[in-house]
């Protein structure tokens, strides 16, 4: 079943844009979008919190999410988070059976 992943990054004060720029320069987003099973991978700036960056992901199934977590670019994300992110919250959802098409 499809998996929806919601990641809230709370960047260190004033570092949201630098974090986003580092993500783009690293190629993490492009590599993630190119993965088998990825259907959406998009970043959003919070209009209410200048330090928050939201990542929304849709994956074909739980296996695609698991494999994503084993990629070198996913592991490289840890280094960027250590430099720029104060906290992050991850929520994961499974599409209900009635919504499958």
Q: What are phi and psi of 81, to 5 degrees?
A: -60, -40
Q: Is 80 exceeded by the pLDDT of residue 101?
A: no
pLDDT tens digit sequence for 28-82: 999 999 999 999 999 999 999 999 999 999 999 999 999 999 999 999 999 999 9
- CA 35 to mean position of chain CA atoms: 13
All structural domains of the chain, each given as residue ranges with its CATH number in brackets, are 3-96 (3.30.70.100)
Instruction: Give the integer Cα–Cα distance in Å for 39 and 20.
Output: 21
pLDDT of 100 above 70: no
């Amino acid at each position: 079943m499809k998996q929806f992943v919601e990641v809230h990054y709370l960047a260190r004060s004033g570092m949201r844009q630098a974090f986003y720029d580092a993500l783009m320069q690293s190629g993490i987003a492009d590599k993630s979008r190119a993965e088998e099973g990825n259907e959406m991978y998009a970043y959003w700036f919070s209009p209410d919190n200048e330090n928050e960056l939201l990542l929304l992901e849709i994956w074909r199934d739980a296996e695609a999410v698991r494999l994503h977590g084993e990629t070198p670019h996913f592991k490289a994300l840890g280094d960027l988070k250590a430099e720029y992110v104060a906290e992050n919250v991850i929520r994961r959802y499974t599409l209900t059976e009635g919504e499958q098409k």
